[in-house]
A and B are shown apart, each in its own frame.
Chain A
Amino acid sequence: DAKTTQPNSMESNEEEPVHLPCNHSTISGTDYIHWYRQLPSQGPEYVIHGLTSNVNNRMASLAIAEDRKSSTLILHRATLRDAAVYYCILGRTGDKIIFGKGTRLHILP
């Protein structure tokens, strides 16, 4: 199973950018990096994914290191609604999709 490492929790101020790190040192060349988040009392929801290049969508940006052993999810302007658990996972064809414990993000008003 492909493994990732994330900090247990982080804090950020409202309306400021948030950088959520993820290490995946055992990533293989065809593994995709995915981010999901889980808001309180809800199921996880897809945020973004990428392979090698940085990716942007309406929710966030994904910055992938050149060696692909780490990545950073960037929320450009955090709001209170962004308080959630953020999961970084590796997508590997034919492999189980394993979620770790994620990073619990607290947003301070």
Chain B
Amino acid sequence: DSGVTQTPKHLITATGQRVTLRCSPRSGDLSVYWYQQSLDQGLQFLIQYYNGEERAKGNILERFSAQQFPDLHSELNLSSLELGDSALYFCASSVGQAIANEKLFFGSGTQLSVL
């Protein structure tokens, strides 16, 4: 158990809908990272937050947004969903803000299926 909690584990929805994925980091970790993993794209970095502030952005679509709350949990909002958004979404956490020797701890992911 990594200590990172993601909910829900599975989500099935329809095209055009909006969903929210939730992540609770390990106790004491200030950074949260979101990754998307689809079969053909591997593990794609979406966005990182540190202590409530956005720190780094990857190839995150404009239809996607995220935030980190004062209690350090984070939510990833996906809107106007398309079939191609079906993927595993992972959250990870770390103590600091992407320091070179920092370890990431990953949750078990949310499997999103868009029908």
Contacts and interface: CB of A to CB of B under 8 A. Distances in A.
Given A43-B106, A43-B108, A99 B45 contact: yes
Contact of A91 (B4, B101, B108): B101
Contacts of B35: 99
Interface residues of A, number: 26
Interface residues of B, number: 25
Contacts of B33: 97
Interface string B78-105: 0000000000001010000111111111
A43 B102 CA distance: 17
Contacts of B56: 95-96
Q: Interface on chain A toward B: helix, strand, loop, or mixed SS?
A: loop
B108 A32 contact: no
A32 B100 contact: yes
A38 B108 CA distance: 10
Contacts of A108: none
Nearest to A34: B103
B104 A97 contact: yes
B90 A44 contact: yes
Contacts of A91: 98-102
9 contacts: A31-B100, A91-B99, A94-B97, A94-B98, A95-B56, A95-B98, A96-B56, A99-B42, A102-B42
